[in-house]
Structures are given as C-alpha cells and as structure tokens.
Amino acid sequence: MWKFFHHLTSPPHFYRLAATIIPWLAFPGLVLIAYGSYAGLFVAPEDYQQGDAYRIIYVHVPAAYVSIMAYVLMAVGGGCGLIWRLKLAHAVGAAAAPLGAAFTFLALATGSIWGRPMWGTWWEWGDPRLMSELIMLFLYFGYMALRAAIDETAKADKASAVLALVGVVNVVIVHYSVVWWNSLHQGPTLLKKGGPGMDADMLYPLLAMILGFTLVFGALLARRIRTEVLYRERRTRWVRELILAPGGGR
C-alpha cells in the first residue's frame, strides 16, 4: 500500500499520470459549464425578488466554492509535505495558490457587482463574510509572496506550508461567518436545513456549474503541478531524458 502510494506520488510518475487525466477533467468540466451557462441564463426562471440579477450566482457560487477548496488543498498539501516529506505535496500547494487567488478574486468581484444594485453597496467594511473572503485573498497573496521571497525551495516549502496551515482556520470562518454573526450576506442556500432553498430549475444548472468549475480547476491544477514538478526536478536524470527524448517534453 505505502509502496504503491510512494510510486504514485513520485514526480516522474505523477508527471505522466497528470498528462493522461487532464483531458478527462477538462472536457467534462467544459461541457458542464456550457450546459450550466445555457440553462442558468436561458432556462432557469427569474427570481421572485431579484428578477434576472440573481443569475450571477452561476459564476459567484462556483468561484467561491473553488476558492475555499483550493485553500484546503493548499493546506493539506503543506501538511502532507511537512509530515511525510512528500515532494509532490509541496508542489501541489505551490501550484494551487495562484489559481485559488484568481477564483477568490472572481468571487469577490461578482459579489460586488451583484451587491451594488441588490444591497445598495459595492462593498461594506466590517461585514464578516466579505472580510473573511478578503482575508483569504490576502492569505493567498501572502503565501505566494513568501514563496517568492525565499530562494531555497526546501525552505520556501516549509515556511509557506506553515502559513497555509495557520490560515486554514479562516476557511471555517468564511463558511460560518453568515451563521455566527449578523451579516449582510444571506445564509447558505444549498446546505440549508431541510434541503436547498431553491427551485429545481435553478438548482441543477448551479450544481452543474459547481462541478464544472471544480473539474476545470482540477485540470488547470494538474497542468500547473506538471510545470512545477518539471522545474523542481530540473536537475534530475528523468527530466533530462524526457527533454532529450525525440519529441521531448511530451
């Protein structure tokens, strides 16, 4: 079991494996996003209060979900890297951070665009949900800056893994911010007690978008991990052989 796991997470093996799984993530993901966008914009009925404006949730919710998932992945990668000294685990964290930051920004931006006409404000300082999501963006930035500031990869891995682990408490705060405190942001719709507070015609496109975003994120992440692995292993023999082989680098 351990032997198999070590083989799976060995950089050259994962490098090849990732190339195989990327299309299996990317294409279903894009199909789901295409269906979700069409059904969300044209098939789903308008909301009884917000009219058509609510349709931004088809981007906002999946983006926010992925922003949290990417952070958890980054922290788990950091933890596994620290404990088991897995080379691949640190590479996962390094590859996930910029993607997570991008999705966090997307969630903040779409929320702001929706908030202006619906709430009556672009941004409210002091709102727990808005602030905790913003702090998550800064955690991503801090993680990337810390990595960039330390030249030695092993040291950068350790320091940034600790930062990622410390920041993981914020993930819990983001999720429960609307439950624990008064917030302008509405409570959870999908994980609401007694089932999702949403019509099925609205719900299915949203679920498709969430799954689609997740799969596309997985494909992008796998691609970034490949690059990261290649760079980290640039002095090893398997990379040299890979590059020098006919049709090198494929």
Classify residue 226 as exposed, middle or buried by CB count within 10 Å of its CB (0-12, 13-18, 19+).
buried
Query: Cβ closer to other proteins: 20 or 49?
Result: 49
Rank residues 200 and 244 by Cβ distance to other proteins and give the closer one. Answer: 200
Cα Dmax for the chain: 63
Say how far residue 89 (Cα) sits from the centre of its chain: 16
Question: Two tokens at 214?
Answer: 């997740």
Q: How many Å apart are CA 141 and CA 17, to the nearest integer?
A: 29
d(CA 97, CA 221): 10
Instruction: State the residue for tokens 């624990």.
Output: 180
- Considering the complex, what minimum distance in angstroms separates the CB of residue 19 from other proteins? 31
Amino acid making up residue 99: L
Residue 43 CB coordination number (10 Å): 12
Instruction: Choose the stretch contacting other proteins; rule: CB under 8 A; options: 16-24, 94-102, 112-120, 136-144.
Output: 112-120
Interactions with other proteins, residue window 187-226 (CB under 8 A) = 187-189, 192, 197-199, 201-202
Per-residue interface string for the shown chain with other proteins, residues 51-80, x marking contact by CB under 8 A? --xx--x---------------------x-
- Is residue 179 a contact residue for other proteins (CB under 8 A)? no
Report whether 211 contacts 203 (CB < 8 A).
no
Q: Binding residue for other proteins (CB under 8 A) from 180, 234, 240, 241?
A: 180
Paired residues of 47 in beta bridges? 51
Chain positions 126 to 155 lying near other proteins, rule: CB under 8 A, are 126-128
Q: Judged by CB, which is closer to other proteins: 63, or 202?
A: 202
Q: Length of the chain in residues, anyone? A: 250
Sign of CA dihedral 48, 196, 179, 54: negative
Establish if 45 lies at the interface with other proteins (CB under 8 A).
yes
Interaction between residue 168 and other proteins (CB under 8 A)? yes
Q: What minimum distance in Å lies between the beta carbon of 142 and other proteins?
A: 15
Phi, psi of 192 (to 5 degrees): -65, 150
Closest separation in Å from C-beta 45 to other proteins: 4
Contact residues for other proteins (CB under 8 A)? 45-50, 53-54, 57, 79, 82-84, 117-121, 124, 126-128, 162, 165-166, 168-169, 172-173, 180-184, 186-189, 192, 197-199, 201-202
